[in-house]
Structure 1
Amino acid sequence: MPYPGRRGGRIGHIQFPRSEELALGERRQRVRNMRYQCTTDHQERSHRDGSPDICTTMRHLLHLFVAHLEPLDTAEAVVQALKPNLRPNEFCEQLHSIYNETKTRLKQALGSAHEMVLTVELWSYRTEEPYLTVACHFVDRLGYHKSHTLETTRCVDDPTAVNIVQQLLSIADVWGIKEKIHTLITAQMPNMKEALANTSWTHMPCFAHTLDLAIKEAMKGESAHVLLKKCRKVVRFFQSGTEAEKKLRELQSQLRFSQKELVQPIDDGWLCSLIMLERLDDQYQAMPIVLTQRSKKDMCLNEQELKEVKNMVLALQTFRDATSMMKSKGFETISIVIPLLKKLMGNLGKQKGMLSSGLLAQCKKHFGNPNKHKLSLTAALDPRFKNMILSDGDVNSLNETLIKEQQANARSRQMSSSVLNFEESLTMYLNHDSIPEGGDPLAWWRMTGSKIFKDLSKIAVRKLGVVSTAIPLERAFEKDEMFRNRRKCLARENLDMILFLNSNWLEI
């Protein structure tokens, strides 16, 4: 804020004149007086209007506790300490007020969307009670991808695919978006495709969950499983034995080897296992000496096992590098799947080792041939990857696929639609410049592609608006125990409100 001195200044709606005569102390006092006046006026206006003052301590603290998923009674205790005259239920009323206000604004925002994708997370609350967290995703008129949590609710019946679909239809109906939804993304929910048979929704499995499943199955292979178990045993020995770890650090210092904290995986997540193997491989040179001194020679890795550890590190690093193509937070368009799989499977095919071959086999089992995958069309409509997917000879087959999908979509929604031929637009699109890998394909189609390729852009936006995971990417590939534990600590009566506001407050 400019200081009201020689050149003048402004606080609120008040303009200070140029004044060389005013002493510095007088000018500062005048600033303080005007700030107080503006603040008082604002509070009086807020009181008259009956609207909550966003600058109040209570509202700020509510936002803070919602963002960190803190229980409401903890937040209320803090507010009570700051505001001893807090009347009963005032804090809870404020939360309800903000929830209803945000929900109303979200409903208005959803009213302007034409097509939507629904994602659902099935999770256990405290005593293994099944809960659903439902979110919707759409592309706004400017090409921005929007994601909003709609509701968190207990499964009304057994969490079978049929019951979950019925509950999702009911939730979508309450929000007035049932007819706008065209795709459902789920994780760990078998038979969902059959359960959606009587709807116009298309089911897509969560890419992150399927990828995790492929890695876990490969790591359960007998040879890989035995070696991983032995590596965990070595790490546990040094972590649990103070003298052994002290001796290891002394030896590493003498030999000028690197010193990093050893990591013991707390679950079967592949990223945790990768970090453990990387640290073990990097520091193993000094370990056999300590193991031998402690009569633990049987725990030493032989030459072949050390070689295989390096191969396992390389294989899992390939997965980490491939998934780094995706955003670090939020949701990524499903068009990333095919380019990622091509990079991943291509690199695994060049590697040696039992885990690399097992991972490649599992990827083929779960995803098939990426060159003939059903998501190839979506990847082809992404201007970042079109040259990787399309060639001149693909235009005719792609045009036929688009026409068939257009007809099927019209039938499923009981609409009469003229069949468009996209061949000319596809040829122009193929010859058009690609955008950088870090670019936004949805914004490109909304702002550029819609002007050049017209009807093709509508299909592209619809397909690229489908997200690749059922949960945000910051929780998709890593076990976010902090988020899960905090979510389970929330009281049932506040669970839906707090998770809703955690996603939507000030985001609409």
Structure 2
Amino acid sequence: MSSCLLDCFEFSDRHTSENLAEEQLRVAREWQVDEKVVCCVSDNAANITNAMNIFKWTHHPCLAHTINLIVRDALKVMKPTVDKVKAAVEYFHRSTVGAEKRKSTQRQMVLPELRPKQDCTTRWNSTFYMLKQFLDSKNAIISTLANVNAPVDALTQEEWKVVEEVCRVLEPFEQVTVEFSGESYVTASKMTLLCKGLQRITASHQREANVTTGHVTELMDTLCSSMDRKFHRMEYNHVLSEIATLTQ
């Protein structure tokens, strides 16, 4: 596997579909590959998607970005709980007293001295890592926040249950995101299989009633609905089928 950067330049014009299409075609013609393009991959922005349609290049949205949109949208239903976790994490990052007390408590409880992770708005899995590590340090965090009288709202038992269940539901999405972020192996050939797998495993959580909290049930419904739209008829995509066949 290898990749080549054909051009990198400041683009000061308006990012309309027409302007983007013109620049992409210019670069492709400069390198004499405009008649050799098999497929273009980009994020899901409407302007870049429409740009591809202007000169009829086959276009596929980046799956990692698609999953980011799906999960970010679903996480909105539990925003109050996520905001509470973020506030606590931010407190530990800015308070020396809180951070030292947290580390001391973790040592006393024979727990790893994990520094709470902060999330990034453009990467949904950073929110997953924040929630997962927060959950792994649950007892130390509860004790520390109580002892230092931190100016943040503590999570209720119900909210801790929400965090636990959402981590279990989202773990397969994190695994697929990591798999599709690889640069040294072919990923498109796995797309159909892994997307259908995400749909099946999320549906199984619904059928088997593995989730008891209302927010996470709503989150799963949103995930399933979004995947139905985004992954519709993916198995009939001829480009993905050809890539899967060629990489066997």
- Give the shorter-chain TM-score range: 0.7 to 0.9
2:182 equivalent to 1:316: no
What is the one-letter code of the residue matched to 1:359?
A: L
Please give the residue correspondences for 1:159-174 in structure 2 after superposition, counting only pairs within 5 Å: 159-174=15-30
TM-score (norm 1): 0.42
- Which residue of the partner structure matches residue 205 of structure 1? 61
Q: 1:263 is paired with a residue of what secondary structure?
A: coil
Q: 2:55 is paired with a residue of what secondary structure?
A: coil
- Give the paired residue count: 238
Any conservation in 2 of the 1:338–1:376 contact (CA below 8 Å)?
no
Any conservation in 2 of the 1:323–1:340 contact (CA below 8 Å)?
no
How far the C-alpha of 1:364 sits from its partner, in A, is 2.2
Any conservation in 2 of the 1:218–1:359 contact (CA below 8 Å)?
yes
Specify whether residues 170 and 247 from structure 1 end up closer, same or farther in structure 2 by C-alpha distance, changes over 3 A only: closer
Any conservation in 1 of the 2:84–2:153 contact (CA below 8 Å)?
yes
Q: 2:195 is paired with a residue of what secondary structure?
A: helix
Specify whether residues 150 and 258 from structure 1 end up closer, same or farther in structure 2 by C-alpha distance, changes over 3 A only: closer
Specify whether residues 190 and 297 from structure 1 end up closer, same or farther in structure 2 by C-alpha distance, changes over 3 A only: closer
Any conservation in 2 of the 1:155–1:164 contact (CA below 8 Å)?
no
- Deviation readout 1:426-460 (Å, 9 max, x if unpaired): xxxxxxxxxxxxxxx44x5xxxxxxxxxxxxxxxx
Query: Aligned equivalents of 1:147 and 1:251: distance in 2?
Result: 47
Query: Aligned equivalents of 1:320 and 1:211: distance in 2?
Result: 9
Any conservation in 2 of the 1:291–1:299 contact (CA below 8 Å)?
no
Query: Aligned equivalents of 1:161 and 1:202: distance in 2?
Result: 15
- Deviation readout 1:365-389 (Å, 9 max, x if unpaired): 322355xx43277347625xxxxxx
Any conservation in 1 of the 2:188–2:244 contact (CA below 8 Å)?
no
Q: 1:150 is paired with a residue of what secondary structure?
A: coil
- Deviation readout 1:267-299 (Å, 9 max, x if unpaired): 442222122111111111133233223334972
Any conservation in 1 of the 2:63–2:180 contact (CA below 8 Å)?
no
2:146 equivalent to 1:284: no
Any conservation in 1 of the 2:203–2:224 contact (CA below 8 Å)?
yes
Greater share of residues in helix = 2
Any conservation in 2 of the 1:270–1:316 contact (CA below 8 Å)?
no
Q: 1:149 is paired with a residue of what secondary structure?
A: coil
Query: Aligned equivalents of 2:29 and 2:72: distance in 1?
Result: 38
Any conservation in 2 of the 1:322–1:343 contact (CA below 8 Å)?
no
Specify whether residues 295 and 201 from structure 1 end up closer, same or farther in structure 2 by C-alpha distance, changes over 3 A only: closer
Query: Aligned equivalents of 2:19 and 2:58: distance in 1?
Result: 17
2:123 equivalent to 1:240: no
Please give the residue correspondences for 1:294-305 in structure 2 after superposition, counting only pairs within 5 Å: 294-296=148-150, 299-305=153-159
Any conservation in 1 of the 2:105–2:140 contact (CA below 8 Å)?
yes
- Which residue of the partner structure matches residue 219 of structure 1? 75
2:147 equivalent to 1:293: yes
- Which residue of the partner structure matches residue 338 of structure 1? 192
Greater share of residues in strand = 1
2:236 equivalent to 1:382: no
Greater displacement, 349-358 / 192-201: 192-201
- Deviation readout 1:92-149 (Å, 9 max, x if unpaired): xxxxxxxxxxxxxxxxxxxxxxxxxxxxxxxxxxxxxxxxxxxxxxxxxxxxx55321
How far the C-alpha of 1:158 sits from its partner, in A, is 2.1
How far the C-alpha of 1:255 sits from its partner, in A, is 3.0
Q: 2:21 is paired with a residue of what secondary structure?
A: helix
Query: Aligned equivalents of 1:211 and 1:257: distance in 2?
Result: 32
Any conservation in 1 of the 2:90–2:118 contact (CA below 8 Å)?
yes
Query: Aligned equivalents of 1:197 and 1:258: distance in 2?
Result: 51
Structure 1: which 5+ runs fail to align?
A: 1-144, 384-440, 445-508
Query: Aligned equivalents of 2:44 and 2:13: distance in 1?
Result: 17
How far the C-alpha of 1:241 sits from its partner, in A, is 2.3
TM-score (norm 2): 0.81
Larger Rg: 1
Q: Percent identity?
A: 22
Structure 2: which 5+ runs fail to align?
A: 206-210
Query: Aligned equivalents of 2:157 and 2:145: distance in 1?
Result: 16
- Which residue of the partner structure matches residue 176 of structure 1? 32
What is the one-letter code of the residue matched to 1:367?
A: F
